[in-house]
Structure 1
Amino acid sequence: MSLDVAALRTHFPSLTTGVAHFDGPGGTQTPVQVGEAIARTLTGPLSNRGTTTRAERNAEDAVAEFRTAFADLLGSRPEGIVHGRSATQLTYDFSRALAKSWRPGDEIVLSQLDHDCNVRPWIQAAERADVGVRWLRLDPASAELDLGDLDQVINERTRLVAVTAASNLLGTKPPLARIAAHAHAVGALVYVDGVHYAAHAAVDRDELGADFFACSPYKFLGPHCGVLAADPELLEVLLPDKLKPSTNDVPERFELGTLPYETLAGATAAVDFLAGLAPASGSRRERLVAAHHLIDAHESRLRGRIEDGLAGFGSRVTLHSKAADRTPTLFLTFADHDSADASDFLAGRDIAAPAGTFYAYEPATAIGVARGLRVGLAPYNTEAEVDRLLDGLAAFLR
């Protein structure tokens, strides 16, 4: 089996514009099924949750279906699925809840590979709680985390390890299970930024060793929101700030205010769309895993095509994405050109590939790059689009 990209693309109205989208890491294009689910739910009947009227039941169904869908996607349980406005908001909320148990002398461990949403909330929480911060350092030469001193960095004082499952800048996928095993051996919790990872790989939260796994549906064909998965039993011991009359049930105690039912419905539709890319047999979870195998094979093939083309540019282009295990995201700089000029040139040819560091402050600082061109693949990209990209870069460099 291979991914039927031509059939997949027919569901994306935005792809009819002729623009080749290599901007998926910042947010993918959206299939019509997601928009229809949002509109159908929003136009109701719809009201606040309850069981008496049809409008109330529609709201209840949107929430229940969302939790079940993301439990299937993330290898977790519906009772541990938390909705948030974004992964950043969820991380801020959970950093404050977790920091309530920290004491002076405790430590947390952060990663130089991470997007700032999995760095700054923890640093700020650590400062308020007067706890230390240690780092998993990034090796610029390999684009990998240097884990040679893992036993010293993660130690008996460690209360939390926050680390990405995949870098949104470099694509690097660190050995998460190994890091998590060290953390759990000393009684520390592991908070994983899975925003970039979930767009390109089947997620099994337990297998990864993630006590908390955060992701963003708009990075994998859905609407703008955030999702966090954790064991319900772990959520039970956390006490977030909340309104007095609001429920103390898990996971609702972490969802502040009325939920956006239409957004939940759109996110559920995105999960169902992904599951539909696999053969129509087995459970939704099984189909999602199979679909991600197809997506990975397709995106990896296109990534290889891009890398082969970039190699032909020699020293004029530096590819910073070089980890052995990584997503189909490539971060480039140019010997004699500004990456912003490259992005503008490509945009003039209807090729979307943005320039910047994309909130990945720590990895960009570690590799010494102020700005680069990010080329990110999504399931709807084609070989013809890759060739357009390479032709565009060649013309730019001329």
Structure 2
Amino acid sequence: MNEIVERCDVLIKGGRVIDGTGQPARSADVAITGDRIVALGALNVERAEHVIEATGQTIAPGFIDVHTHDDRLVMSNPEVTPKLSQGVTTVVVGNCGISLSPWTGGHTPPPLDLVFSPEPDEYQFPTFAAYAEALGKHPSAINVVPLIGHSTLRCCTMDDVDRPATDAEITVMKERLRESLKAGAAGFSTGLFYAPNKPAPAAEVAAIASELSAFQGIYATHMRNEGEGLFDSLDETFDTARRAGCAVVISHHKCQNEKVWGRSVESLARIEAASAEQSVGFDVYPYVAGSTVLLEEMIQPSKRIIVSWSAAVPEAGGRDLSDISAEWGCSDAEAMARLQPGGGIYFSMDEADVDRILSHPMGMIGSDG
């Protein structure tokens, strides 16, 4: 029997609904009023302002891109075209220890240049509250879930990030994170693989992340090592979250080195075991290559490297690093140094591991874009 709906703003008729609960797809109508779905099923709608015929099409909730670096994009391109055009309606920003706020100025070493401009501009915010206010005044077309980055906190708090933070510096970072959480930030992220964050010991991370529990905040981590040190990094991640008393999400889980290819069976089992004792999750991207700034340490584990951009040699963008080094008559490391600052796409994973991690029921999809 059809459900009777007197009125709705939008009626989507006859589509194949996949609702995100894990249930099989089914044919159904969807009635929407304002920003809410008011009815779903076989509907008899007496009046609809707009009708969309969806026969032969699929209807699904907006996708959540759980791992992005769109902190700046949601402001500079509020339509967020690269995401919205693919059905993404929510992005989690501030990952890998990199966030646009709170930023009080100063040097922005890689990988902070993924979101910061080389020169001061309107997209620098001394507090997260200022970032949230700016986003509220000029909202993006999609929802934004912001994290606060540890590298950002370190770079604007410490005079030298090539060392562990002092107790006084940790106190300042804790205060800045706490104020951000009060203003609506959803959590805290680290990029322990990257130079500004790498010198931070687990004790520093746990001390700062201890602010999260009072706000039910999430700790997301680009772990210290996703290659030969993968399992030590997993143990560090679980222990840090336990000490901080918070939930943790492992960012873009992968086996990033030929020496650990095939061991996703073990890593997933390790994550499952930890999740029985504490709140643990992970995200994964659906490709065998990852992209970040140009890093010499990524040369050895990568089968292929494509230069995505180079400030020093703009025409190198899109070319293989091996071709550039052969043309210049130098090593890949020397070519990379000449291309700095820049970015690269690193082919360092095995497809079987990616497929296995993607299909795991605990996994969430993130673009890392």
The answer to whether TM tops 0.5 is no
Which has a greater percent of helix? 1
The answer to which structure, 1 or 2, has the higher relative contact order (CA under 8 A, 6+ apart) is 1
Which has a greater percent of strand? 2
